[in-house]
Amino acid sequence: RRGEGSRRIGRARAVSEPKPASEIDWNAIGFGLTPTSHMFVATCDLGGTWSAGEVVPFGNLSLSPAAAVLNYGQGVFEGMKAFRTKDDELLVFRPDENAARCEEGSLRMSMPPVPRDLFQQAVMKTISANADYVPPVGLGSLYLRPLLIGTGAILGLGPAPSYTFLVYCSPVASYFKGGQLTPIDLTVEETYHRAAPGGSGSTKCIGNYSPVLKVQLEAKRQGFSDVMYLDARENKYIEEVSSCNFFCVKGNTISTPALQGSILPGITRKSICEMAAARGFKVEERNVSIEEVMDADECFCTGTAVVVAPVGSITYKGKKAQFCDGKTGPVTQAMYDELTGIQQGRIPDERGWNVKV
Ligand code: COI
């Protein structure tokens, strides 16, 4: 398990090799990979029993070229965040939700589920082992990447004979360029779809993400921040953005595409729905057409990586709708403030979402 990346190679430090947390420029981290000192690894053999797992130095993996994940994409991942509070405590946001979603995903991908308590302990151990890498208050978070992959070798199409569950992490700050709460410009994709009814769109499986790159790269070349996808049946209703869920606001109503199997059941999405309802907004999970979105008061995207990102504009069929004069709208701002306030321990966590590490 400990490949070259965990050791110094010659005099230079390999890109994938961790540097001490004391050498990190916390103001310059963005959402790139900053490797940390440790990761967690557990394995599951043919019998379907998971090992207890252990924390090991961060490093490369050694895999058979015939590993199921490399050939057939048998794998799911999660994204989670841990935060440092002003009292120097470490908090992780809703780990039980990620454990449950990972379990659902593993069943969809015919992999042995990681027991929920093993999942949560692995996350806690990974944070503790990398505590120095949790950014100072207000300068970001420690992003955790649980990964469940078919590592056993198999040639014919079938489930892998063995599996690996890993948790690695990286300190991160803003996902989009320009910093958190800088409005993003989206373009609506009309030719390609992210997922189809009956497909794997609601599973956080690794294969859902690379197909968006072609469209995303072209959109970025044209100056957009990211791409919005429409439903595969009618090309009319919003699905999600490449890496996050979507919300629009009209008056006192906040709407988001319903979970009908083709969009990711985001944990930030679910949290925003609860927070908005508690504030007296009418929250609607339903089919949201692109036509009504173009006429919304404000729009925002949500995700673990993205947090709450204001949408400055949406371009569809050559027409550009601008929201809130291209600035962050009041509802977006309120949702961002409340979510990040809870996550960073600045405001009371009345729903018990945070778990202390
Ligand atoms: C997350 O928000 O945690 C994700 O997994 C999205 C990923 C594309 C960065």
Query: 111 by DSSP, 3-state: which?
Result: coil
Atom of ligand 1 nearest to the CA of 79: 3
Contact between residue 166 and residue 198 where contact means Cβ atoms under 8 Å apart:
no
Ligand 1 center–CA 5 separation, angstroms: 24
Q: Is the pLDDT of residue 13 over 70?
A: no
Q: List, as one string, the DSSP characters of 232-266.
A: TTTS-BEEEETTBEEEEEETTEEEEE--SSSS---
* Cβ count near 55 (within 10 Å): 17
Going by alpha carbons, the residue nearest to atom 6 of ligand 1 is 243
Give, rounded to a whole angstrom, the gap between the first and last alpha carbons of the chain: 26
pLDDT, mean of residues 298-318 = 97
- CA–CA separation, 86 vs 152, rounded Å? 44
- CA–CA separation, 15 vs 33, rounded Å? 10
- State whether ipTM is beyond 0.90: yes
Probe residue for ligand 1, chosen from 145, 212, 243, 269 as the CB with the greatest number of ligand atoms within 8 Å: 243
Ligand 1 center–CA 307 separation, angstroms: 10
DSSP character at residue 288: -
Q: Is the pLDDT of residue 118 over 70?
A: yes
Q: Which pLDDT tens digit goes with each residue over 232-260?
A: 999 999 999 999 999 999 999 999 999 99
Contacts of 100-104 with CB under 8 Å at 24 or more apart are: 101/204, 101/265, 101/267, 102/76, 102/78, 102/146, 102/148, 102/204, 104/203
Q: Which pLDDT tens digit goes with each residue over 208-233?
A: 999 999 999 999 999 999 999 999 99
Atom of ligand 1 nearest to the CA of 204: 5
Ligand 1 center–CA 47 separation, angstroms: 31
pLDDT at 47: 79
Q: Residues lining ligand 1, judged by CB closer than 6 Å?
A: 79, 209, 243, 303-306
Active site residues: 204
pLDDT at 17: 79
Q: How far is CA 299 from CA 163, 248, 302, in A?
A: 40, 4, 10
pLDDT at 15: 54
Going by alpha carbons, the residue nearest to atom 7 of ligand 1 is 243
CA torsion through residues 184, 188, 192, 197, sign: positive
pLDDT at 46: 77
Q: List, as one string, the DSSP characters of 172-237.
A: E--SSTT-TTPPEEEEE-SS--S--TTSSTTS-BGGGTGGGHHHHHHHHHTT-SEEEEE-TTTS-B
Using CA atoms of 192, 196, 199, 200 in order, give the dihedral in degrees to the nearest 10. Answer: 60
pLDDT, mean of residues 31-46 = 94
Q: Which two tokens stand for residue 132?
A: 């120095």
pLDDT, mean of residues 57-62 = 94
Q: Which residues contact 248 (CB under 8 A, 6 or more apart)?
A: 254, 255, 256, 288, 292, 293, 296, 297, 298, 299
Ligand 1 center–CA 303 separation, angstroms: 7
pLDDT at 208: 94
pLDDT at 141: 97
pLDDT, mean of residues 204-208 = 95
pLDDT, mean of residues 298-322 = 97
Q: Which two tokens stand for residue 238?
A: 């919003």
Task: Grade residue 3 by pLDDT with cuts at 50, 70 and 90.
Answer: very low
Q: Which two tokens stand for residue 189?
A: 């994709």
Probe residue for ligand 1, chosen from 174, 202, 204, 244 as the CB with the greatest number of ligand atoms within 8 Å: 244
